[in-house]
Amino acid sequence: MARIVGMLTTSHVPAIGGAIAKNLQQDAYWKPFFDGFLPVRKWLDEVKPDVAVVLYNDHGLNFFLDKMPTFSVGAAPEYHNADEGWGIPTLAPTRGDVDLSWHLINHLIERDFDITTCQEMLVDHAFTIPLKLFWPQSPCPIPAVPVCINTVQFPLPSAKRCYALGEAVGDAIRNWDSDKKVVVIGTGGLSHQLDGERAGFINKDFDLKFMDSMINDPKWATQFSIHELVEKTGTQGVELLMWLAARAAVPGTLKRVHTNYHIPISNTASGLMALATL
Amino acid sequence: MSATKLPPIPGTTPFDGEQAKKGYALNKMCFSFNSAECRAEFLRDEEAYMKKYSLNEEQAAGIRARDVLGLIRAGGNAYYLAKFAGILGLNMQDIGALQTGMTVEQFKAKLAAYA
Ligand SMILES: [Fe+2]
């Protein structure tokens, strides 16, 4: 059976793509963010996962309001990035793992998650940039399967529901008849708000508490409603749902490989966690 | 119709069914800005492009005035509006400053002060 080697979570702001394209990793503004990835890459070099499952949220590249699935799973042989309209470079396509995709789809539906399946799926910066941060080579050296959670149009799935989805994703991976090593990735957050008079809102206390809970009390954030999460973390801070789902996929006590927290990149409090299974 | 009435969060408009319904035409136009050809077509003739997407008067006025808060009131969603901002060459700090009535430098300082 497949084995989960650990989980990675990171922020995914489009501006990171611009900084990579301009080689600004050592620039004073960006260095505290990019340097966080060095120990994580070292760990990835050691554990060498074969495939990644990436929990992320689309920002209006693949999905529009005409059809907005709450949960969707990619089932494509290859995932293409495309012009997102805000001037960041389009990254190379990422290979998929169709066998794992259909295994996930079958298992999730069996577990009463009525997901949307996508045999074609454009992936935006929330999928491509984290892979680029963890594996700077182009294209990404390992295949990946995207699992997308709607955070565009309310009502969003609750934190509790996203946690349950993550649990089911984790169980599915562990039941996958394969000798592959899998890493689970959750992207988004941490606290930030792009829109409205409250734009620029950040909540460091909450973020640090949340990051601590990811290690010591993974279900902690499931006590909050979406409305409470928006209030505490901002309209886009609610992307911590992806972190929760990733953590739920890799339950129990995990070993801290590395964590980083830095304010700000663009309008965002950036967070990074790498936790390994024991 | 939402199931329960939630206490408002100041300066925040959750993009719910009400907003999604109201802003559909505007967001659809902004979604088209993923395409370079569509961006160019908009820039060639903004009025014709807005007409093509059937924007209402409130939405068209918001686009003409580059009024982000007005566009949110008219049903605009942050992610699609960001594609409009991209056309104008504005980044998220520019947009933040516009919405909060600060200069870009003040807005950046506000962000950095959270560290
Ligand atoms: Fe995001």
Q: Where are the domains of chain B?
A: 17-88
- Taking the CB of residue B58, how many other CB atoms lie within 10 A of it? 14
Confidence tier at B6 by pLDDT (50, 70, 90): confident
Residue ranges with strand state E in A18-114:
51-56, 71-74, 78-79, 94-95
- Rounded Cα distance, A108 and A131, in Å: 24
- The predicted model scores a pTM of 0.97
Nearest by CB to B92, which of A227, A262, A266? A266
B4 touches chain A (CB under 8 A): no
How far is residue A263's CA from residue A146's CA, in Å, rounded to a whole number? 27
Contact A69, A115 (CB under 8 A): yes
pLDDT of residue A129: 98
CATH superfamily of B17-88: Dioxygenase LigAB, LigA subunit (1.10.700.10)
**B104 shares contact with chain A (CB less than 8 Å):** no
pLDDT at B3: 55
- Domain boundaries A3-277, CATH class: alpha beta
ipTM rounded to 2 decimals:
0.95
Does the beta-carbon distance from A152 to B81 stay under 8 Å? no
What pLDDT is attached to residue A86? Answer: 87
Partner residue facing B13 (CB), from A87, A196, A264? A196
Tens-place pLDDT, residues B81-99:
999 999 999 999 999 999 9
Instruction: Give the pLDDT of residue A273.
Output: 98
- Answer yes or no: is pLDDT of B1 > 50: no
What pLDDT is recorded for position A173? 98
Domain boundaries, chain A: 3-277
In chain A, which residues have pLDDT < 70? none
